[in-house]
Amino acid sequence: MLAQTVVGPSILAALALLAVVPAPAEAQRLSLSPTIGLYIPTTELVKATQGEEFKQEIALSVGGRLGITISPRFGVETSVSYVPSNLRFTFDDTETTTDANLLLGTVRATFHAI
């Protein structure tokens, strides 16, 4: 029973070590790619009963993606997009626009089992 308890975690630790140990420099890669998109809000943020409304406007999204391959099995990807948008709101038939920029980001770890 004790042998089974020790062997299971030992195998998992060995697999984790193989995935994390840095490979030679030729196996490491860096990739960079630009992204362009369109931010399209699908509904108004708020529409009140007395006619007030808040609406985010359509805007162009620009950013990039960065990928780093640390070993043949493990890598990290991150992406960032910036949207210079406006918020339009209406009170008593008076329309006002103000900056309402967005910054979106992601990080993802990749592991290839085979």
Model confidence over 37-59: pLDDT tens digits?
999 988 887 776 666 788 889 99
- How far apart are the C-alpha atoms of 6 and 107, rounded to whole Å? 34
pTM above 0.75?
Answer: no
Q: Are 62 and 36 in contact (CB under 8 A)?
A: yes
Q: How far apart are CA 79 and CA 23, in angstroms?
A: 24
**pLDDT tens readout for residues 65-109:** 999 999 888 999 999 999 999 998 887 778 888 898 999 999 999
Of residues 27 and 113, more confidence is placed in 113
pLDDT score for 3: 44
In sign, the C-alpha dihedral spanning 61, 82, 30, 67 is: negative
At 112 the pLDDT is: 82
Whether residue 10 has pLDDT greater than 70: no
For the chain, domain boundaries = 2-111
Distance CA 14, CA 23 (A): 16
